[in-house]
Amino acid sequence: MDNKTEPILLQTLRGKATSRPPFWFMRQAGRVLPNYLKLKENYTFWQMMQNPKVAAEVTLMPVYDLGVDAAILFSDILVIPYALGMGLDFTDAGPVFEKPLAQRSNPLEGLNPDPSKLEYIYKVVDEIIKTRPENTPLIGFCGAPLTVLLFMLQGLGRKGDFPDAVKFIYQNKEATKKLVEELTELSVIYAQEQINHGVEVFQLFDTHAGLIPFDLYKELFLPATEKIAEAVRAKDVPFIFFPKGLGCGIGAITPEYCDFLSIDWQTSLQTARKLVHQEVGLQGNIDPRLLFAPQQEMEKTLESYIEFGRKNQNWIFNLGHGFIPGLPYENAKFLADWVKNTDWKRNS
């Protein structure tokens, strides 16, 4: 593809100059879209994920309803523990494991990796590729080993701080390393299979990266990120890493870990740009709660991003985390239109 036909997100990820930053939103498929909320009345979350036609429709909904520059696969980070043999159900209150690992006498026993349990997701990817509008890249993803392991160890209860899971990590370092290995191996297979079926960009979500001290994170979990990044890039697909809450730890993120680093709202983009290796692009970091503000207030805050966007071609406009349930759809649409219609003062 030449520059004129290559989607703007892929141009930016490949280091090309564009007239504006590309944009997509974490958790864009659902939550704030009226069409999604209407569709959801007829299906459970599991049913939506496992039905290729429905999952593809939900994946592409934000492309039509918001005008984003890319679609992200409609799925969940906990499909990996399910494929490892953990009993999992998605309830109205969220995902629930039959028996979290921290409650088992031997957490490593009973894990039985079965990659075939992920086959239904590749059928969804096939359907998206078949039905997507032209020039709409598809982003694939999985959860990073720390975040996924926290859920596996503790389940959903008090998920914000995962006290039982963190206690387990401190008490059982060797078992933790083995669990991370299991997770990483299956995540590598999963990532590469998504790419084999047509995914063009891949993001690794580590929503709870900030839960443990960075030194421990670097020792136990960052090597897994590097392995998944290597597997993705071996297929010539750009790799985005989102370690939410990592704080100053982002200064240790060098090109071997990712092509682009997604920044949460706690760290300004200016600070992030000084800390992160210059060859690593940035993504983020709009506070999703800004979308509760009146549009006039939203615009004032957004205008402060123009200067950064003018100077930094290697930046993807995104949120510092996902859309929050209950945000007004009108404000999400306002945000999307604002990015597209703003003069970013770039010469190209």
Residue 108, pLDDT score: 87
* pTM summary value: 0.97
Phi and psi torsions of 315, nearest 5°: -140, 135
Identify whether the C-beta of residue 338 lies closer than 8 Å to the C-beta of residue 296. no
Residue 57, pLDDT score: 98
Confidence of residue 30 (pLDDT cuts 50, 70, 90): confident
Element (H, E) at 142: strand 138-143
The HSE-up count of residue 107 (CA atoms within 13 Å, CB side) is 24
Q: Which of 246, 211, 283 is nearest to 26 (CA)?
A: 283
Confidence check: pLDDT of 257 > 80: yes
Residue 3, pLDDT score: 45
The token pair that represents 285 in the structure block: 């970091």
Confidence check: pLDDT of 1 > 70: no
Mean predicted lDDT score pLDDT of the chain: 95
Q: Is the preceding omega at residue 3 within 30 degrees of 0, hence cis?
A: no
SS3 sequence, 274-331? Answer: HHCCCCCEEEECECHHHHHCCHHHHHHHHHCCHHHHHHCCCEEECECCCCCCCCCHHH
What's the rounded Cα separation, in Å, for the pair 46 and 39? 13
The token pair that represents 196 in the structure block: 């084999």
Mean pLDDT, range 47-59, rounded to an integer: 97
Mean pLDDT, range 37-62, rounded to an integer: 96
CA 225 from centroid of its chain's CA atoms: 13
Q: Is the preceding omega at residue 285 within 30 degrees of 0, hence cis?
A: yes
Confidence check: pLDDT of 32 > 50: yes
The pLDDT tens digits of the residues spanning 180-235 come to 999 999 999 999 999 999 999 999 999 999 999 999 999 999 999 999 999 999 99
Confidence of residue 2 (pLDDT cuts 50, 70, 90): very low
Residue 120, pLDDT score: 97
